[in-house]
Structures are given as structure tokens and as C-alpha cells.
């Protein structure tokens, strides 16, 4: 069921149910982060491996401090600039946060979403919410309520509809191993914006096993149709005779039927491209295609995060 009844959503969560909620990044599959049976239900619904930890959502910085041991100075500076927003901080957890949430790690990923419905819902609850993206594990993340309904609607009792996500990419995850600020996952806040606040940071490549933070697996965000990355001017003629879809940054290609291509931003706007990425992948994945060919964006601004998702969507190919 899709609706906008926040009181109903809160009541379901208090009863141990798992529901979908909107955030500004993507829709989340949310449940009581302090209840291990509910957390286990999240993993089961997503078919997510238990070694891939979850992000915990709270309404404000004061609430965040209830669940972590300490907040480093650089983390607090980032929180003051970007929270609520598309930032997740990887911090030392208190014992009240289950090891199931963190996949056995002493660190917990904490986020304060900026979406007004998510904010209102979190303030009605006496517990934080564990909420990975509301999609089957490894598939394209949902940016609209109907995306969730299409993928998981028969497995959850309620989808809180907050409209289309305004950012459309998962949050940027920043941790502080040995006191050094490190970006573990590129996301909705560009690396340049992070560095403008706290200075140079390390940027860690995603890992293929035992991830230290959510969403770091090598193969992720993948459509069911094979996706191949490269120069579109080379890939398109290479695959003549096949039904191909084209995912480009700005350009359109007259030799490909218009309904089989998607330009993320005709004006070259990174924010618009990020907002359209998952919807574009989902659109092409539902066409009768043999292959999706795509190109990387310039490695700057949100282009870095978009490229990260594209590389992982194509890693099996």
C-alpha cells in the first residue's frame, strides 16, 4: 500500500514491521534499528548478505549522539555543514546498536535525512531506523514510491510516499580510521564539498568483500540487462545488429531509436544527472534490449559518484 499517512507508518514500525520511507537520496527499507528480529527481516526482504552493514537514521545531531561513543572534531564539522543531508558518518557505536546492524563492526553508519516526511516520522519514534535502499540486493536503487512497489510491494505492508527523490544518489559515507578523514563511498555530497570544510581527505576504492561501510560491494546497483561502459562512439558501431540501449551524459545518437536512449542531462548539469541516474537505468532495464551501453562522466563534482555507480553496475561484464 502506498500512502502519506505518517501516523500509520509510525504505528507499523512500532509493531516491528518493515516499511519503505522516502529520503532525499533514495527510498529506504526501514525498521527498528534496536530490534534484531526487525533488522533480520530487513536483510531477508532485501536478500542482502549479513556481512553488508546497514545505515542508521536519526532526526538530529542530539539523537545521533545517543548511539555513538564519540564524534571526532572533523566529523562534527561535517555534521554541522551537511546534516540533515546526504552525509553518513562512520563512528564508533555504543553497545545498544546490535552487531547485526553493523555486520560485527565496532563502527556504525549514522545519517540524518533531510526529507521532511522522514524527519517527521523519525521524531514520532522512540528508536532509530535501520534503512538500506528499498530494492532487492544488488539491483537499481529506487527513487520513487512506485519503484519500491514494483520491486518489494508484496513483501512490505506500507510505502510512505514522499515523491521523487531530489538527489537520487545514496549518501556520501565518511569515516575516520586512525583519525584520518576517509570517504568510503562517494555519494550525494561531492568530494570537493567535503574537502572545502575539513581539508584533504582520502578516497577509498570500494571493496569486493567484507565491506567496512554500507554499499561498498564491487557489484551493485546493477540492471538485469548487461551494462557495458566505454566510449559510445565506439560501442554503438561495435554492437550493430543487437538491440542496444544508450545511457549518455548529454549527447543523443540519431542511429539509435529515441525511446532506447536516455541522456542524463542535456545541459551537462551534474545534479540533474545524479537525480536521473537510477530512473534512467531502470527505464532501459525494462525495454526488450540485448545490451545497455553507457559512458562515464568527467571525474569531478557528482560525476565521481555517478561513475562509481556505473562501474559497479557494469562489473559483471
15 is in an annotated binding site: no
The answer on whether 131 is annotated among ligand-binding residues is yes
**H, E, C per residue of the chain:** CEECCHHHHHHHHHCCCCEEECCCCCCEEEEECCCHHHHHHHHHHHCCCCCCCCEEECCCHHHHCCCECCCCHHHHHHHHHHCCCCEEEEEEECCCCCHHHHCCCCEEEEECCCCHHHHHHHHCCCCCEECCECCCCCCCCCCCHHHHHHHHCCCCCCEECCCCCCCCCCCEEEECHHHCCEEEECCCCCHHHHHHHHCCCEECCCCCCCCCCCCCCCCCCCCCCCEEECCHHHHHHHCCCCCEEEEECCCCCCCCCHHHEEECCCCCCHHHHHHHHHHHHHHHHCCCCCEEEECCCCCCCCHHHHHHHHHHHCCCC
48 marked among binding-site residues: yes
111 is in an annotated binding site: yes
* Binding-site annotation, residues: 25, 48, 57, 111, 131, 133, 141, 171, 185, 221
* Binding-site annotation, residues for ATP: 48, 133, 141, 185, 221
* Binding-site annotation, residues for L-threonine: 25, 57, 111, 131, 171
Amino acid at each position: 500500500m502506498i500512502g502519506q499517512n505518517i501516523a500509520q507508518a509510525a504505528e507499523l514500525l512500532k509493531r516491528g514491521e518493515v516499511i519503505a520511507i522516502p529520503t532525499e537520496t533514495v527510498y529506504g527499507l526501514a525498521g527498528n534499528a534496536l530490534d534484531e528480529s526487525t533488522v533480520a527481516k530487513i536483510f531477508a526482504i532485501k536478500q542482502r548478505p549479513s556481512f553488508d552493514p546497514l545505515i542508521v537514521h536519526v532526526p538530529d545531531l542530539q539523537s545521533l549522539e545517543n548511539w555513538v561513543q564519540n564524534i571526532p572534531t572533523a566529523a562534527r564539522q561535517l555534521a554541522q555543514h551537511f546534516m540533515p543531508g546526504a552525509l553518513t558518518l562512520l563512528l564508533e557505536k555504543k553497545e545498544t546498536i546490535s552487531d547485526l546492524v553493523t555486520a560485527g563492526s565496532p563502527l556504525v553508519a549514522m545519517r540524518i535525512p533531510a526529507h521532511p516526511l522522514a524527519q517527521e516520522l523519525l521524531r514520532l519514534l522512540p528508536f532509530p531506523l535501520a534503512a538500506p535502499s528499498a530494492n532487492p540486493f544488488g539491483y537499481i536503487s529506487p527513487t520513487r514510491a512506485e519503484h519500491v512497489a514494483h520491486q518489494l510491494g508484496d513483501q512490505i505492508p506500507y510505502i510512505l510516499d514522499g515523491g521523487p527523490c531530489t538527489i537520487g544518489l545514496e549518501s556520501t559515507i565518511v569515516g575516520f580510521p586512525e583519525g584520518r578523514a576517509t570517504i568510503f563511498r562517494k555519494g550525494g555530497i561531492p568530494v570537493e564539498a567535503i574537502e572545502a570544510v575539513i581539508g584533504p581527505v582520502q578516497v577509498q576504492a570500494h571493496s569486493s568483500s567484507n565491506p567496512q561501510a554500507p554499499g561498498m560491494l564491487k557489484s551493485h546497483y546493477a540492471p538485469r540487462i548487461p551494462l557495458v561502459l566505454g566510449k559510445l562512439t565506439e560501442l554503438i558501431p561495435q554492437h550493430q545488429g543487437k538491440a542496444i540501449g544508450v545511457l549518455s551524459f548529454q549527447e543523443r545518437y540519431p542511429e539509435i531509436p529515441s525511446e532506447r536512449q536516455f541522456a542524463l542531462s542535456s545541459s551537462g548539469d551534474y545534479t540533474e544527472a545524479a537525480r536521473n541516474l537510477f530512473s534512467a537505468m531502470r527505464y532501459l532495464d525494462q525495454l526488450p534490449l540485448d545490451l545497455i551501453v553507457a559512458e562515464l562522466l568527467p571525474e569531478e563534482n557528482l560525476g565521481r559518484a555517478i561513475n562509481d555507480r556505473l562501474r559497479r553496475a557494469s562489473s559483471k561484464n
